[in-house]
């Protein structure tokens, strides 16, 4: 079938996961963010914050996991697949912390492109920190700018999802994609 791969991107605490879970409840195929899974596995291995202590290793694990999601999404039997973050997010976060990364990170992003990217802006009213999210709201704003820059550098047209209720945000996305 060759489904459309649709990324829901945004900095920490913007409502991506809540939106993905809502779209899943509406019957759409959705892939979860994998950074929490990588973080929790590292904790089991005795590393409290892998992203902070070994950002390149953490990012390599994310890149590989997101590439696997990208490939798996292409095999789904639905017309669209929603993904909580995409491959370029990895580069945006590395740029945010100021660390270098190998050329294959860039090549992977160029070779695996998404059909649509919806971006959620930082929203103070819903922002919450937790055990896996170490960023504060000001850092979330800075990360957002890196996401915009990175996705744009790969030629993506970013669709801004307006603030609103969960139903309003999901309706905006589904109407934009003519899935309503």
The continuous run of DSSP H or E covering 3 comes out as none
- Max Cα separation, the chain? 46
Query: Could you tell me which of 90, 63, 78, 87 has the C-alpha nearest to residue 30?
Result: 78
What integer pLDDT is reported at residue 71 of this predicted model? Answer: 97
Provide the 3-class DSSP secondary structure of residue 89: helix
Phi and psi (nearest 5°) for 82?
A: -95, 135
User: Mind listing the pLDDT tens digit for each residue in 78-110?
Assistant: 999 999 999 999 999 999 999 999 999 999 999
User: Mind listing the pLDDT tens digit for each residue in 119-148?
Assistant: 999 988 886 776 555 678 788 899 999 999
Helices (H), the chain: 16-25, 35-44, 50-53, 55-73, 87-97, 103-111, 137-153, 166-176
What integer pLDDT is reported at residue 125 of this predicted model? Answer: 82
Query: How does the average pLDDT of the chain come out, rounded?
Result: 91
Q: Indicate whether this model's pTM tops 0.85.
A: yes
Name the band, by pLDDT with cuts 50, 70 and 90, for residue 35.
confident
What integer pLDDT is reported at residue 94 of this predicted model? Answer: 94
Please report the domains of the chain, with CATH numbers, ordered by start residue: 4-176 (3.40.50.300)
């Amino acid at each position: 079938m060759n489904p459309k791969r649709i990324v829901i991107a945004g900095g920490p605490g913007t409502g991506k996961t809540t939106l993905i879970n809502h779209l899943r409840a509406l019957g759409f195929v959705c892939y979860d963010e994998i950074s929490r899974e990588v973080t929790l596995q590292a904790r089991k291995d005795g590393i409290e914050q892998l992203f902070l202590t070994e950002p390149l290793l953490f990012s390599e694990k994310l890149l590989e996991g997101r590439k696997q999601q990208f490939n798996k999404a292409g095999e789904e039997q639905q017309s669209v697949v929603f993904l909580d973050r995409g491959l370029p997010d990895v580069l945006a976060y590395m740029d945010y912390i100021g660390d270098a990364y190998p050329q294959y990170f860039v090549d992977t992003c160029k070779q695996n492109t998404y059909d649509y990217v919806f971006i959620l802006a930082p929203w103070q009213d819903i922002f919450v920190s937790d055990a896996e999210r170490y960023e504060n709201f000001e850092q979330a704003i800075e990360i957002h700018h890196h996401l915009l820059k990175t996705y744009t550098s790969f030629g993506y047209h970013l669709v801004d999802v307006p603030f609103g209720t969960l139903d309003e945000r999901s309706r905006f996305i589904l109407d934009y994609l003519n899935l309503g």
